[in-house]
Amino acid sequence: MNDPVHELKPGATQAHAIAGQHRVAPQVIAQLCEAVGDGNCIRQPEQLRTYESDGLATFRATPGVVVLPSTTEEVVRCVKIAREAGLPIVARGSGTGLSGGALPIPGCVLIGLARMRKVLQVDFDNAFMRVQPGVINLDVSKAIGAQGWYYAPDPSSQSVCTIGGNVAENSGGAHCLKYGFTVNHVLGVRIVLADGSVHDLGGPVLDQPGYDLTGVVVGSEGMLGIVTEVILRILRKPEATRTFFATFPSTTEAGNAVSAIISSGIVPAAIEMMDRLAIVAAKAATGLDWPDVGAALLMDVDGPVAECEHTSKNAIELARKAGAIEIRVPRDAAERDLMWKGRKSAFAAVGRIARNYLVQDGVIPRSEIARVLEEIAALSSKMGVRVANVFHAGDGNLHPLVLFDARVPGEEKLAEEISGEILRICLRYGGSITGEHGVGFDKAPFMAEMFTEDDLETMSRLRCAFDPACALNPGKVFPTPRLCGDKPGPYQPHPAELSGEAYRA
């Protein structure tokens, strides 16, 4: 069997060399092959490159071996083998994350959960489903749609992202404004801890007594354990949905419209905003006949028919008062789906107008949307770098896309600097460095700008209660190496890895 090595990139620094010293011994690979089957143990260097990054491709690292278990028992075996060998462990779903949360530790055991895609139980009487973590988000709703049910959280990547990844990042989506994030729809989990023990947290009821350990696990970014089953809350489809698309001269008027709609007491199911660059990209990708305007809003309201009609009418009137140029109401479900296709394809569509881009994920108060977008526009103009904005306007969750060309020396570094400055703008306005993409590897340096040292220490202690050795997904979320108690854990990554130099693509 081959003993894969971390390939050093041209001009590798000492940090690269440190990262490249990780190896997985042949006998360990043999044990992992026995645990999951030879065909589900990936160790050839060229095959391992598939797993070098997640959706944030700025950083790359090669895992030592990738295993693809299909049951909780197989996950347990892999975890125990890795622990006995003293190797770090990284769990991965579809790899669609945008913060480097599934970035491998060089030479780690990467546990891919994509084969764990069974729907284990559907209980309509008690409104829940039990699924494995590899089930695709959209497939949950497809499995129950014919019976009039659906699963509410809807990330833009819902056709490819997995429930396990959604749990790790506490993923959101357009319709989480009204219905809440993943954490509001996960009733319980089965989790494998770093010592190989299996625990069931929560259960198929809305509120269990005791500490909300399920809520602790959701959004923990794979650092507390590996989730192998998830109990999801499912909902009846609303009686009616009403949608409208509104265009504005600029993001200032569109932002003011959002504030006016929400402050009036209306709770949309979703209200999304795109600026001119994002609209241009969406049109290029989908062929939509959207006009060339400064900004656009796409809004849904749902519920009983009478309520939808009344609420939609009031929201449209508020949009007009805020300066809407045009209001479009879809004639049928097909036209509505096309409008939403334009919005949900926006991230990928930006590839039509830029060779490369960075996706950021910050949060601000809704009332500050117009001012923050003006600051981002000023920053973009000053630095000479285009920034497209498409985001969940109803909850102030921004997704600026910083456009650049990696072939031009210095452009990628400049894009990263602007991306970081956008996060600092969000913090200045009382916001957050992430709304749904997670902290991962990318945003770890900014945690110290949002939280105090005591805050970070408290988070670290909670992590260590689950994983004292920091074996699971090390190098993520926390800005510096942090120890459990006063003793360094054997899996704590080298500072060179945490600096980013060991991972830069």
Per-residue pLDDT of the chain (505 residues; tens, 9 = 90+): 333 333 323 333 223 323 344 679 999 999 999 999 999 999 999 999 999 999 988 889 999 999 999 999 999 999 999 999 999 999 999 999 999 999 999 999 999 999 999 999 999 999 999 999 999 999 999 999 999 999 999 998 999 999 999 999 999 999 999 999 999 999 999 999 999 999 999 999 888 889 999 999 999 999 999 999 999 999 999 999 999 999 999 999 999 999 999 999 999 999 999 999 999 999 888 888 999 999 999 999 999 999 999 999 999 999 999 999 999 999 999 999 999 998 988 888 898 899 999 999 999 998 899 899 999 999 999 999 999 999 999 999 999 999 999 999 999 999 999 999 999 999 999 999 999 999 999 999 999 999 999 999 999 999 999 999 999 999 999 986 555 543 444 444 544 444 455 566 6
| Nearest one of 5, 65, 61 to 33, comparing CA atoms | 65
Q: Which helix (H) or strand (E) holds 233?
A: strand 226-233
Q: Which strands sit side by side in the sheet containing 41-42, from one edge to the other? A: 41-42, 65-67, 109-112, 89-92
Residue 14 DSSP label: H
* Cα angle value 68/442/280 (rounded, 5°): 95
Task: Please tell me whether residue 345 adopts helix, strand or coil conformation.
Answer: coil
DSSP string, 174-210: TTHHHH--GGGGEEEEEEE-TTS-EEEEE-SSS--SS
Predicted confidence at residue 5, as pLDDT, reads 31
d(CA 158, CA 161): 5
Give the total residue count for the chain. Answer: 505
What are the phi and psi torsion angles at 201 (to 5°)?
A: -110, 140
- For 128, residues 6+ apart whose C-beta sits below 8 A from its C-beta are 121, 187, 204, 231, 232, 233, 234
The end-to-end CA distance of the chain, in Å, is 27
User: 81: which 2 tokens?
Assistant: 């083998």
Contact 94, 169 (CB under 8 A): no
> At how many degrees (to 10) do helices 251-263 and 369-383 cross?
160
Predicted confidence at residue 468, as pLDDT, reads 93
Predicted confidence at residue 57, as pLDDT, reads 83
Domains of the chain listed by start with CATH number: 14-112 (3.30.43.10), 119-236 (3.30.465.10), 240-348 (3.30.70.2190), 354-428 (3.30.70.2740), 444-498 (no CATH)
Predicted confidence at residue 34, as pLDDT, reads 98
Predicted confidence at residue 502, as pLDDT, reads 53
Predicted confidence at residue 345, as pLDDT, reads 86
What are the phi and psi torsion angles at 377 (to 5°)?
A: -65, -40
Contact 469, 491 (CB under 8 A): yes
User: 416: which 2 tokens?
Assistant: 């990263």
d(CA 333, CA 80): 50
| Nearest one of 134, 112, 117, 131 to 32, comparing CA atoms | 112
**C-alpha distances in Å from residue 35, one per residue of 68, 116, 192, 269:** 10, 15, 16, 45
